[in-house]
Amino acid sequence: MIESLNEQLTPYKKQLIHHPIYSNIASKDDLRLFMEDHVYAVWDFMSLVKKLQLELTTTSLPWQPPTDNATARLINEIVWGEETDLDKDGNAVSHFEMYLNAMKQIGANPNGILDMLTALSQGKELFDLIDNAKLPSYVSDFLRFTFQIIEENKIHKIAAVFTFGREDLIPDMFISMIKKMNRDKEQSFDQTIYYFERHIEVDGDTHGPLAIQMIKNLCGTDPNKWNEAISASKTALKMRIALWDGIHSKISQPEKLLI
């Protein structure tokens, strides 16, 4: 079944790899616009990870051994890497905070996501915030899908969205383009470059095969679970394509979208 899943997802992955957004980010202003919307996806990724940790490892007392040690190790490794990685100066920091620091370096505005986090800490309801935050529809739709999947509480679907819907499909030329902009002594993008390179490195060879095994374990021989995993993965990739489409349009016609 995993072969069928990969085969069905390939067209969507190709769309993401070859998306015109990557070649359209050609200046600091373009990168600012990209990061101000993409930061929401960087943030909500952690909720997928933490949900998997809650369901697949032992987080209650008294402690009991996890049912699947290999999967528990994978999730704990990912949480460790995403929540407490080292930044370019060797400081412990989450990838989300690493991204915020990169935004600050290039002058991108983080107030939207920070205001949302403040409201959540004050007890505001998440879906109300998504609906009322005056976000672009492609951002609010993306967030709504992620948290609806989490709220549905079908762990095989959450794992599928995490594994296939949020897989790093960033082409090398995108990082090369940012590096080229970074050569201009008037500009500095080193924290942005570090974030993308580090994120891809952390999610590389080890996590990929283990995540696939996690899907196999969770779906087992149940055809309904496999079908739901495939459907959720497809939708996740479509939502990501829609997010890229929206940001691409914003970068292409910023003056029209800011009116």
Beta bridge partners of 92: 86
**For every one of its 259 residues, what pLDDT tens digit does the chain have, with 9 covering 90 and above?**
888 888 999 999 999 988 999 888 888 899 999 999 999 999 999 999 999 999 999 999 999 999 889 889 989 988 898 899 998 899 999 999 999 999 999 999 999 999 999 999 999 999 999 999 899 999 999 999 999 999 999 999 999 999 888 776 776 667 777 877 777 655 688 898 888 888 777 766 567 777 888 899 999 999 999 999 999 999 999 999 999 999 999 999 856 454 4
**CATH top class, domain 2-252:** mainly alpha
- Whether residue 175 contacts residue 196, with contact meaning beta carbons closer than 8 Å, is answered with yes
- Whether residue 155 contacts residue 56, with contact meaning beta carbons closer than 8 Å, is answered with yes
CA angle 43–39–82, rounded 5-degree value: 40
Nearest to 164 by CA among 231, 223, 66, 113: 231
Cα separation, 98 vs 85, in Å, equals: 9
Task: Kindly report whether the global pTM for this prediction surpasses the value 0.85.
Answer: yes
- Whether residue 170 contacts residue 16, with contact meaning beta carbons closer than 8 Å, is answered with no
Give the start-to-end residue ranges of the domains of the chain: 2-252
Residue indicated by tokens 């497809």: 234
